[in-house]
Amino acid sequence: MQVTRELFNDVMVPNYAPSAVIPVKGEGSRVWDQNGKEFIDFAGGIAVNCLGHCHPALVNALKEQGEKIWHLSNVMTNEPALRLAKKLVDATFAEKVYFANSGAEANEAALKLARRVALDNHGAEKSQIIAFNKAFHGRTFFTVTVGGQAAYSDGFGPKPGDIDHVDYNDLAAFEALISDKTCAVMIEPLQGEGGIISPTNEFMQGVRDLCTKHNAVLIFDEVQTGVGRTGDLYAYQGLNVTPDILTTAKALGGGFPIAAMLTSTEIAKHLKIGTHGSTYGGNALACAVAEAAFDTVNTDEVLAGVTEREQMFREGFDAINAKYNVFSEVRGKGLLLGAVLNKDYEGRAKDFLVASAEHGLMSLVAGVNVIRFTPSLVIPLEDVKEGLARFEKAVAQIVNA
């Protein structure tokens, strides 16, 4: 069978609009399409491929586990799941782990758990969930409603109730909204889809203190920021603010679908037998690959390398901007970076993405004004240099058009 982009239109639901490029091979931070064209990958599958493509540690784990056991229902447990859970507990604030398949599922579990904790401890009146405008927490109906972007949640009928939103980094507005009726606050420790927006230290500490004051569960959505993306294993560790529940996915499996919800024993006890579950959550194959990814990332060398690469990217963007004057600022931390277009190029982030692809570079957007970069945490320095050179060609193409 000949596979073409046109086949997508014939057989796939039209909720995506993929480019004409169909990648067929990847190695490290290089990708090749059906025609043999090479790309440097500054996108990482949207912050998923934390070790690039076909990393030997992940390939070996997949092969080894693939010859042992793939899947068991949660009527039984398995060795890779227990090993991975122990490593997550040892490396974080958490004492208990729940495995799922995607960030949305981990967030769904976190929100259900928070509601159950409030119901058990305080009664039905304590049900309010507070989240933040421009947030993104997944595509289930519950998580997309908690995410503060109406464009994603409108048009599907009545939404889950008792969910309110305030602006990120607006501590006064948050303080005015939270009360003893608030059961949970869900927040990204660095907003991704919303435009790569970092929190102020005052804001994050204030959110933590107010959640404690009102007995509200603080949930950190670290689906995009987790597993080394910001230069810390998890972003909360660099903020010195500890959540009650943390969700992690994307980079956790290095490209293999897996997610986890992390929390304390005291909170976890409210998910009694039968209250929540997942057919594939904790799948042996996924956990074996994730364990290999986690072991590789959770080293001083790799985490320090993220900061080194961040500096290289920032210097590269500064040099490009000195020539072409297209960015108002570069936001983010570690290898979750956003180049914000200035007024002369407002609304044209996708144009830069398309031009980048023409010059052999894979990039992303975060809204219409921000070009987003989430490369491999171990991208070779020569690939950073070459990718920035290709990006400069794309910028020049648009500026000189």
Q: Consult the annotation and say whether 208 binds a ligand.
A: no
Look up 221 and say whether it is catalytic. Answer: yes
d(CA 102, CA 252): 10
d(CA 28, CA 51): 7
Q: Consult the annotation and say whether 136 binds a ligand.
A: yes
Look up 383 and say whether it is catalytic. Answer: no
Q: Consult the annotation and say whether 278 binds a ligand.
A: yes
Q: Consult the annotation and say whether 139 binds a ligand.
A: yes
User: What element of type H or E holds 182?
Assistant: strand 182-187
Q: Consult the annotation and say whether 114 binds a ligand.
A: no
Q: Which amino acid is residue 12, in one-letter code?
A: M
Q: Are residues 219 and 114 in contact, defined by beta-carbon separation less than 8 angstroms? A: yes
Q: Consult the annotation and say whether 229 binds a ligand.
A: no
Q: Consult the annotation and say whether 95 binds a ligand.
A: no
Q: Consult the annotation and say whether 104 binds a ligand.
A: yes
d(CA 149, CA 160): 14
User: What element of type H or E holds 88?
Assistant: helix 79-91
Q: What is the DSSP string of 11-72?
A: HS-TT----S--EEEEEBTEEEETT--EEEESSHHHHT-TT-BS-HHHHHHHHHHHTT----
Residues 6+ apart with CB under 8 A from 267: 96, 113, 117, 217, 244, 245
Q: Are residues 215 and 125 in contact, defined by beta-carbon separation less than 8 angstroms? A: no
d(CA 223, CA 137): 8
Residues in the chain: 401
d(CA 342, CA 230): 25
Q: Consult the annotation and say whether 103 binds a ligand.
A: yes
Instruction: Report residue 165: phi and psi, to 5°.
Output: -125, 145
Q: Consult the annotation and say whether 221 binds a ligand.
A: yes
The residue annotated as part of the active site, out of 42, 99, 132, 136, is 136
Look up 37 and say whether it is catalytic. Answer: no
d(CA 54, CA 166): 41
The residue annotated as part of the active site, out of 250, 317, 352, 373, is 250
The residue annotated as part of the active site, out of 221, 232, 244, 351, is 221
| CA angle 245–247–251, rounded 5-degree value | 150
Q: Which amino acid is residue 302, in one-letter code?
A: V
Torsion of CA 280, 286, 291, 292, to 10 degrees: 180
Report H helices in 255-380: 265-268, 284-297, 300-324, 349-358
What positions carry a catalytic annotation? 136, 221, 250
Which parts are annotated binding residues for pyridoxal 5'-phosphate? 103-104, 136, 221-224, 279
Which parts are annotated binding residues for N(2)-acetyl-L-ornithine? 139, 278
Which parts are annotated binding residues? 103-104, 136, 139, 221-224, 278-279
